[in-house]
Amino acid sequence: MNRLPLIMLIALLLLTACSKQTYGIEIKEANVTQINQALNLKDSTDTLRLEGKIGAVCPTGCWFYLEDNSGEIYVDLAPSGIAIPQSTGKKAVVEGSYIKVKENSVFVAKGVEIK
């Protein structure tokens, strides 16, 4: 019995499971900012990198909540013209800038990687 097709199928499944999905710009910022640190900024035009787990996601994928062990932040993708698939519970890396609109904290992402 030829096992090559089975081995190729297993390798393909492993590669697919380990791959990341990228939306928007490529993440280049190396330094990770904790969510609670971002929330304490007044406003920032600086580029920040946040990492965490995806919480609730907009039905159309234009926003989501990102959580780490320090807090949760609203991530808006609409200004960048990107959307993500339903990915609740998956790990993500986002790059963008933090703004505060009245009482609301918003992280405007220019790039998202879902792992």
In angstroms, rounded to a whole number, what is the distance separating the alpha carbons of residues 45 and 50?
A: 15
**Residue 81 in domain:** yes
**Residue 65 in domain:** yes
Output the pLDDT for position 41: 79
If one counts the domains in the chain, the total is: 1
In angstroms, rounded to a whole number, what is the distance separating the alpha carbons of residues 32 and 11?
A: 32
Question: In this structure, what CATH number is given to the domain that contains residue 35?
Answer: 2.40.50.200
Domain that holds residue 95: 21-114
CA 35 to each of CA 57, 85, 106: distance values in angstroms, whole numbers, following the listed order:
17, 22, 11
Task: Report pLDDT digits (tens) over 18-46.
Answer: 578 999 999 998 899 999 988 887 766 68
Prediction pTM value: 0.80
Return the C-alpha torsion angle 29, 35, 36, 40, nearest 10. 60
**Residue 42 in domain:** yes
Handedness of CA 115, 66, 49, 85 (dihedral sign): positive
**Residue 1 in domain:** no
